[in-house]
Each structure stands twice: as C-alpha cells, then as structure tokens.
Structure 1
Amino acid sequence: MKRLLRLNNKEQLLSVLKMILASSFSEQKGIRVKHLTLNAAMNHLRGGNEVANKELKRGLEARHIQMIALGGTIGVGLFMGSASTIKWTGPSVMLAYAIAGIFIFFIMRAMGEMLYMEPSTGSFATFGHKYIHPLAGYMTAWSNWFQWVIVGMSEIIAVGAYMKYWFPDLPAWIPGVIAMVILGAANLISVKSFGEFEFWFAMIKIVTILLMIIAGFGLIFFGIGNGGEAIGISNLWKNGGFFTGGFSGFFFALSLVVGAYQGVELIGITAGEAKDPKKTLTRAIQSTIWRILIFYIGAIFVIVTVYPWDQLSSIGSPFVATFAKVGITAAAGLINFVVITAAMSGCNSGIYSAGRMLYTLGVNGQAPKYFAKISKNGVPLFGTVGVIIGLAVGVVLSYIAPKNLFVYVYSASVLPGMVPWFVILISQIRFRKEKGAEMKDHPFKMPFAPVTNYLTIAFLIMVLIGMWFNDDTRISLIVGIVFLAIVTISFYAFGIGKRAPLDVQNDQEISSK
C-alpha cells in the first residue's frame, strides 16, 4: 500500500488498479496471469515492461499443455538421433532408452515436488537462484536459452537431411534456408495462435508414431503388409547380437539417448502456469513413464525388429527406412513428410522458447535491455531475431560440412541441457531441508529422495564422461564447457547475473511484508 501512495498522480494510481482488476477478470475467464503483482504493475508505469503484460496474459488450456509437452519432447532426438544410437549399440538401445527414462522420471518428480508447493515460480532459474546460488540461476537461464537455440539448429539440419529421401542430390542447406525463413517470419509476425499451432503439429507426431507402432506390430507378429509372413523378432539377436557395440557402444549411445529426452521438463513449467496447477502437474508428470514406454521404447522396438538394424544408414530417419524396407513405400513417404513437419515444429518451438528466454533475461536485467523490447504484436523482437541468427549458423554449417553434422550439433545441446536437471536435483535437496515439517504431509514427494537425487546426478555425470571418450561427441562437450565458462565469467565480470529474477524479487517483497 505504501508503494501505491508514492505514485505521483491519480492517473498512475488508476493505471495500476486497472491492471490488477484486469488480471482478476482474466483469471475468472480461465486465463492464467503469471506473476502480475504490484511489482509488475510498477514496472509497467516506469515503461520498462509495458508490453510484457500482453505476453503474460497468454495462458494455455489443459489440452495445449498436455499435447505441447508431449509433442515437444518428440523430435529429431527420436526421429533422427536414433539412427546413430542404433548404429553404436544395436538393439540394446532399447535398454538405453529405458535406463535413461527412469532417471528422467526422477528428475521430473524432483521438479514436481517443488512446483507442487511453489507453482508460481515455475522456473529453473528461480529454483537455482533461491535454493543454491545466484550463479546457478543465471547459468540455468542462459543454458536453457543455448539448449533451445542448438535444438532449433539441429531441427533445421534435420529438415535438409529428410528432404534427401525425395531429392537425393539436393544440397541440405537449401531446405534449411526455406524452413528458417518460414518459421522465422511466423514467429516475428505473431505468436497469438502459438498454442493451437503447436497443438496440431504435436498431434500429427503422436498419431504417426502410434500408427507406426501398430503397423510395426502387425508386420512383426502377423505379417500384415508382408504377404502374411510374420517378420518375427529374430533381428533383435541377429546381425551382431543384442549388445553389438559392447559396453563402450552402449555407453556412447547414452549421450544421444539422454539428449532425446531433453525438453521433457518443460511440462512441469507449463503445468505450473495452468488453471489448476496441482492437478495438471501431477497428471502430467505421472504420465511421463508411460510416454517413455510407448513413444520411445515402443518405436525403437519396431525399428530394430522390422529392419535389419545393421543396414540402417546414419543419414535420414530410421522410421522412413523401416517402412521402405518392407516395401510400404507410400507409408514411408508419408512418414518422411510427417518427420519434416515434426522437425519444423520442434524448430518453431525452439525459436519461441529461446526468444522468450532471451526476452526474460533482458527484463530481469541479466541480458542487454534491448532484448526486452517487444513489437506491437507482442513479439520479443530482438530476442527472436537473435535465435534466427543462431539458426542461420546451422544452415551455414550444413553447407560447409554436411557429413555427420547432425550428431555434432545435436550433442552440443546435451551439457547445457543437463544444467537445468542438475539444478533441479540439487535444489530439491535443499528445498526439502528448508521446508522441514511442511514436507510431512506433502502428497507428491520425490520417491526415495535424496538417494535417487544422488543416483541421478551420478548417471548424468557418467553420460558426460561417455561423451568425452566418444570421438563423435567430444567436440560438442568441449563446446558446452566453453559456453558455461563464458557464462560464469560474465556473471562475475559484469555482475548482471547477480540480479534476482523478477519472481524471486516478488517473493522477497511478499515475505518482507
């Protein structure tokens, strides 16, 4: 109230009250307004965040949350990255997906435990800043931005590789440029229909994978589409055996397998902004294990069983090769179209997410202020342009060195993408200690913590060690280390990272009153 009385005139007071009343009206209509506090209203009056309020009012319905989160984790990591992992370790890649999936589930539960009690934070940077150290929050925010830029680059590269199915002689950079221009323009023009756009593209990916699994089971067990002759499961132990690459191959495959799961944690953030966060959050996280079993392990099982996996090329999608091998070329062409749209969808999500992350960093004073500028349509203009420039780098790389480029670029996102996971696991340990007696009646606690925290951290470190000893991923690990070093240096050299995120500032203001 004292802050309101300090306003200079009645017009300013009226402006603040209108914003607060508007937020209450929007909440009644089912639109979630994230962190629209008195602090945000004051920022609005100072001119530092006048358009941010429009962005914050764009809430997502439950169907958007579920479908975007589900489809967002299904991208090049599964459609294209599975080619390299199968080549390295053979059919045992299914076991790699299962093992990694268990630890991913623990990460989700650790995040869910915190978000259940603090759904308004919904940010890795907030947890890191609040429960570990300001550097942890700062590094998490920038790592998340870097991860999504790299993912967007890998999706652009994947589009060029997929187009070779129809146009073998077409340079990969040409489709990449076309995809970049289309998606860049779409993000710069408007983001009003982003939820619906991603909802339907996610639906296409999910339905396609389910149909492929069903058709694959028909081929394997009943010979449907193969003249009635069942293919069987002998490919699982033929062509070199189940563990073809031995322990080292299995070890190397884990890096790309883990990378395929990156982004799954976004479901917790999105659910934390939902109309009924606790209900939506628990459902979304609990469904993680089923998504892993069905979409990842189920799809890989069909691929390594239907297709002689040792003949899979490291170029293109194993999904397409699987159907083409058994003579269903029409289905293969259709799936190739679907995985192209899936790659474009993932790239579009990357542009949106990374652009908004850069915008948020600008608003929080943790990045140059011009990144906080928003266009008339509510688009973070410079933040989005910065991401598009990153995608252009991917296009240039596909022109200079197209061979095995996808593996190099995609694996570069693994280390920065793991930073939020490490922060979640460590934050949850300190979160539980700080809450103390409040945890006694917590209905959504992480199973067997903190033992599962330490086991998951050890697993992630083991994956990073495997990347170092793999010639195909070592350079990407070095890139990630250099990036984190630059972020750390900027934190201490300029001090901009020591500024708390706005939601932490708001929490501190509330607790002090």
Structure 2
Amino acid sequence: MFGELEFWFALIKIVAIIALVVVGFALVSWGFRSPAGNKASLANLWSDGGFFPHGLSGFFAGFQIAVFAFVGIELVGTTAAETADPRRNLPKAINSIPVRIIIFYVLALAAIMAVTPWRLVEADKSPFVELFVLAGVPAAASLINFVVLTSATSSANSGMFSTSRMLYGLAGENHAPKPFARLSKAAVPSLGLLFSCFCLLLGAALIYLVPNLLTAFTLVTTLSAVLFMFVWSLILCAYMAYRRKRPQQHADSTYKMPGGVFMCWVCLAFFAFVLVLLCLQSDTRAALLASPVWFVLLGVVYAWKRRRERALVRLRE
C-alpha cells in the first residue's frame, strides 16, 4: 500500500516538474518576453552578477534548505527489507539518484531562472506558478497547489512508513518500547504508525505556536537537517565499522560504495562544515541551538530504560 500510494503521489509531481522544464525551455526557444519586457534567455543564468551575485556567503546560505531537500534519501536503503530482489533493485534505485537530481532540481531551477531573472523572483510567490502564468495557463495556481499538496502527502507517507518500520526494528532489538514490535493482522507495525501520525499533528500545531510562518518553516527545516545529518553520520560510521569488522563480507559484495572509507570522511567533514554555516544566520542558529534538547531527551529516556531493565534482571536473579 505504501509503494502504491508513493508511486501515484510521485508521478503527479514528476509530471508537473517535467512540464515546468519543457515549458520553461520552450519559452526560451521562442524568445518569449514577459509583460515587463524581460526576455527569456539562458543568459539570465549568468547575467546580473554571475552565478554568485551575493558572493559565496549567499551560496552557502542555501545549504540549509538544500540539505533539508534530501531528507529521506536514506529510505532507499530502508526499503531493502521490503523489495523482492534487493540485489537488482537497490543498485538500480541508487544509481538513478544523480539523474533524478539533474532533472528535478538542476533543470527545474535552470528553467525558472532562464525565464525569470533571479532578481525578479519574489520570495512570497511560487516561481512554479509564475512561470506557468507567463506561459498563459490561468489555472496555474490551483494546479501547483494540488501538486504541492500531493508532494506534502508523499513526504508524510514516506515519513510514516520509515518511522513505523524503524520503531518496529528498534523494539525488536530491545532499544524501543516493546509494544512497537507488535504487528497488526495485516503485518503492519500499527502502533508505530499511530505514533508517527501523532508526531505529524505536533508538527501541524507548531504553526499556531509560532505566528510567523516563515520562522516556523525555517525552524522545522533546520532542525530536520541537523537531525538527519546526525542519522547520515551514524550510517557512515556503521559502514566504516562494517568494513573493519567484516572485511571478507565487504570483499565479496557485488555493489560497493565508491570511494569507500575515504568518501565517508569527506561526507562527515561536509556535515561539520554545514553545521558551522548554520551558526552564521540568526534564524538557523536558533534551531541549531534547540537540537541538543532532542538528544538530551533521548539520552535520559534511554538511560532510564536501561536502568529499569537492569533492575528487572536483578529481581529475577
């Protein structure tokens, strides 16, 4: 059910982005001029100060939202337990990620900025909507809002799947409360699913606790980026430990990580660099300073659980 829903949600946004790229470059080919007299041209990509009109600081300021955009990429590995043929399907899925980044990120941004120069992009308006409006699609706002809703639903769908499965796995290894290890009649970790839905409701409540929507969005995206960089760092450390403890199994693997341990250290250094960048802006710095609260809470709960388990073992003895 997760895969089926995700397929249709993803298909809607993929069709919308491909349509945006095609329309954008079609406007460039036709030499389209906006009502304000701006001509659609590839020269818009490097004019007005080049690729870094605000210097490297402006470029680095975008790292926070860029990292957030890739939250969930580790789900490709999580689905290894769900796919029928992981030896064939996982390499295929992983190898296609760079191609998808080029099509859905790079080409989409290039199409938008080729039609609308960066200095004319308004922060409170969707560049997707504006491009389709220029192309003469009056229902652009409604169409894009529909796509945004399906994209948000797709993200929530993935989050609920991964959270419920992770809680189920942790409970099975005695690292989370035992009730999370129970499966429903349909073999679904239903309690983990309900817990994930509860967390989504808490996220929705944040809109009412933080009156400024942009501030709330920056807080959530920065906090998510920090927490997921921690998760990715754990994955890299686990990989290095695997290489050290089971060298023969790694040698027998048919699909190895390019660069191996060296690339792990490169990635870890990049994450440390991003954390430094988050300290430079006041809005992202506030979220970065709030992130240790989550780790402290996890640590306290985990320590309490361990102490309780040891006490139960002593009682049995």
Common topology (TM > 0.5) = yes
The equivalent of 2:226 in structure 1 is 415
CA-CA distance at 1:441 after TM superposition: 5.1
Contact 1:259 1:411 survives alignment (8 Å): yes
Note the C-alpha offset of 1:351. Answer: 2.7
The amino acid of 2:236's aligned partner reads: L
Offset, 1:498: 9.7
2:200 is matched with: 391
| Pair 1:373–1:443, CA change in 2 (3 A) | closer
Which consecutive unaligned segments of at least 5 residues does structure 1 have?
1-192, 500-513
Instruction: Check whether the contact 1:412–1:477 (CA below 8 A) recurs between aligned residues.
Output: yes
Equivalent-residue separation in structure 1 for 2:201 and 2:259 (angstroms): 45
Aligned to 1:402: 212
Measure how far apart 1:290 and its partner are: 0.9
- Matched with 1:451 is 262
Q: Counterpart of 1:249 in structure 2: which amino acid? A: G
Q: Provide the rounded CA distance (Å) in 1 between the counterparts of 2:198 and 2:212.
A: 19
| Structure 2 residue 217 is the aligned partner of structure 1 residue 217 | no
Tell me if 1:337 matches 2:183: no
Residues 447-494 of structure 1 deviation map (CA, whole Å, 9 limit, x = unaligned):
233221111110111011111222121122223222123223333343
Q: 1:325 offset after TM fit, Å?
A: 4.5
Partner of 2:101: 292
Deviates more, 1:444-453 or 1:350-359: 350-359
In 2, the alpha carbon distance for the partners of 1:240 and 1:403 equals 31
AA aligned opposite 1:294: I
Structure 1 CA distance for aligned equivalents of residues 193 and 225 of structure 2: 22
1 CA distance for matches of 2:134 and 2:78? 41
Q: Give 1:280 shift.
A: 1.1
Which residue number corresponds to residue 308 of structure 1?
Answer: 117
Maintained 8 Å contact 2:33/2:40:
no
Residue among 66, 84, 90 paired with 1:275:
84
Gaps of 5+ in 2: 311-317
Q: Distance in 2 between matches of 1:340 and 1:309?
A: 26
C-alpha offsets along residues 409-460 of structure 1, whole Å, 9 cap, x if unaligned?
1221111111221122222222222233454454322223322111111011
The 1:398/1:269 distance shift into structure 2, 3 A limit, reads same
How far has the Cα of 1:333 moved from its partner? 3.1
Is 1:194 the equivalent of 2:5?
A: no
Question: Contact 1:222 / 1:230 at 8 angstroms: preserved in 2?
Answer: no
Per-residue CA distance 1:149-177 (angstroms, 9 max, x = gap):
xxxxxxxxxxxxxxxxxxxxxxxxxxxxx
Structure 2: distance between partners of 1:204 and 1:225: 29
Q: 2:16 aligns with which of 191, 204, 208?
A: 208
Partners of 1:497 and 1:337 in 2: CA distance: 49
**Does the 8 Å CA contact 1:429/1:450 hold for their aligned counterparts?**
yes
Give the whole-Å Cα distance in 2 for the aligned partners of 1:195 and 1:494: 34
> Residues 438 and 302 of structure 1: is their aligned pair in 2 closer, same or farther, counting only changes over 3 Å?
same
Aligned counterparts of 1:389 and 1:299: Cα–Cα separation in 2:
34
Report deviation, 1:273.
3.6
Greater RCO (Cα-Cα under 8 Å, separation 6 or more): 1
Change (3 A) 1:201 1:498: farther
Offset of 1:375 from its aligned partner?
5.0
Matched, 1:237 2:46: yes
In the alignment, which of 287, 300, 306 is matched to residue 489 of structure 1?
A: 300
Whether the aligned pair in 2 keeps the contact of 1:365 and 1:496 (CA below 8 Å) is: no
CA deviation string 1:122-145 (max 9, x = no partner)? xxxxxxxxxxxxxxxxxxxxxxxx
**Counterpart contact for 1:271–1:284, Cα < 8 Å:** no
**Contact 2:223/2:288 (8 A) holds in 1:** yes
Residue 332 of structure 1: how far off its partner (Å)? 4.3
SS in 2 for 1:350: helix
**Distance in 2 between the 1:426 and 1:283 partners?**
24
Counterpart residue identity of residue 174, structure 2: G
Partner residue, 2:314: none
Aligned partner letter, 2:5: F
After TM superposition, give the deviation of residue 374 of structure 1 in Å. Answer: 4.9
Partner SS, residue 328 of structure 1: coil
The size of the alignment, in residue pairs, is 306
CA distance in 1, matches of 2:234, 2:309: 17
| Aligned-pair CA distance for 1:382 | 3.6
SS in structure 2 of the partner of residue 472 of structure 1:
helix
2:235 partner letter: I
> Separation in 1 of the partners of 2:280 and 2:131?
30
Name the stretch that deviates more: 216-225 or 456-465.
Answer: 216-225
Q: Indicate which of 112, 131, 147 corresponds to 1:322.
A: 131
- Cα distance in 2 for partners of 1:243, 1:495 equals 51
> How high is the TM-score relative to the length of structure 2?
0.84
Structure 1 CA distance, aligned partners of 2:147 and 2:195? 28
1:367 alignment partner, SS class: coil
Identity %: 38
Within a 5 Å distance, the mapping from 1:48-447 to structure 2 comes to: 193-223=1-31, 231-315=40-124, 317-374=126-183, 379-400=188-209, 401-404=211-214, 405-440=216-251, 442-447=253-258
Label 1:271 to 1:365 Cα distance change in 2 as closer, same or farther (>3 A). closer
Deviation at 1:285, TM superposition (A): 1.2
Query: What SS class does the counterpart of residue 469 from structure 1 fall into?
Result: coil
- Give the superposition deviation at 1:213: 1.0
Normalization by structure 1: what TM-score? 0.54
> Hey, what's the Cα distance between the residues in 2 that align with 1:471 and 1:239?
27
How has the CA–CA distance of structure 1 residues 497 and 376 changed in structure 2, closer, same or farther, with 3 Å as cutoff? same
Q: Which residue identity lines up with residue 422 of structure 1 in the other structure? A: S
Q: Does the 8 Å contact 1:219/1:306 carry over to 2?
A: yes
